[in-house]
Amino acid sequence: MAEALLALAGVNTHIGQYHILQGVDFEVPRAGLTMLLGRNGAGKTTTLRTVMGLWQASAGAIRYDGAEITRRTTPERARLGIAYVPENMGIFAGLTVRENLLLAARSGPPEDRRLEWIFRLFPAMQKFWHAHAGNLSGGQKQMLAIARAIVEPRRLLLVDEPTKGLAPSIIANMIEAFRELKRTETSLLVVEQNFHFARSVGDTVAVMDCGRIVHAGRMADLAADDSLQQKLLGLSLQAHQ
């Protein structure tokens, strides 16, 4: 089997005096969507931020596309093809939708076909093209954040809780959008609390607890195993639905 696109080996991350990641090992394959699940405070967001270089790993190695990137700066990692959609969406509220998207297109204005594809995924982007991003609704901001990450083809997309605070109908849209994204060449690593969403789009899954990976496998297997869910996540599918 080919080497994984992203591989973390024994990654430790300290934030100030707190030891958050305590030896994280897992891989993101070269295709499909990997879900990163776990309770609040398990270290999911820290893992994404460490991959992006927004926190520096204090030990361990991060390999991406065959090269070690543990000591690379954030802009360098972004230029290697990693895009990050943070939990608070990370859009520039004072800039327009258009400016937000153009900023992410580092190699010149995006192609029309790409934009049309994005508009098909998220029609609101076309409608509010010249609106200030800060005036968008929560769901639209999330769509903008994702649209911005894919305005140019990227190899790896890190998304932190894309369904947080969204209405069920919007979540359905998001599921469609992520399914469409999976058809592209982009691999995704998505942190999520919403198990229904995770089950709908995830191919593989890693579950974190207390700064470590405690389970890794196929999403379908976890989704089918109530007792494993109960053990890992403290929830059952019935209770969640």
Residues that bind another protein (CB under 8 A): 52, 54, 73-75, 78-79, 84, 86, 90-95, 99, 102-104, 106, 148
3-state helix, strand, coil in the chain (%, to 5): 40, 25, 35
- Minimum Å gap between C-beta 237 and another protein is 34
Q: Phi-psi region for residue 189, left (φ > 0), alpha (ψ -120 to 50) or beta?
A: beta
- Minimum Å gap between C-beta 94 and another protein is 5
CA geometry: angle at 51 spanning 158 and 3, to 5°? 85
- Closest to another protein by CB, 75 vs 153, is 75
CA distance 166 to 139: 6
- Burial of residue 20 (CB within 10 Å: 0-12, 13-18, 19+) is buried
- Closest to another protein by CB, 97 vs 213, is 97
- DSSP at 15: E
- Minimum Å gap between C-beta 233 and another protein is 28
- Minimum Å gap between C-beta 103 and another protein is 5
**Do the beta carbons of residue 154 and residue 83 sit within 8 Å?**
yes
- Closest to another protein by CB, 106 vs 120, is 106
- Closest to another protein by CB, 104 vs 131, is 104
Tokens of 237: 């599918």
Tokens of 171: 């979540």
**Do the beta carbons of residue 149 and residue 177 sit within 8 Å?**
no
Compute CA 7 distance to the chain's CA centroid, rounded to the nearest angstrom. Answer: 15
- Minimum Å gap between C-beta 108 and another protein is 8
- Minimum Å gap between C-beta 235 and another protein is 31
- DSSP at 111: P
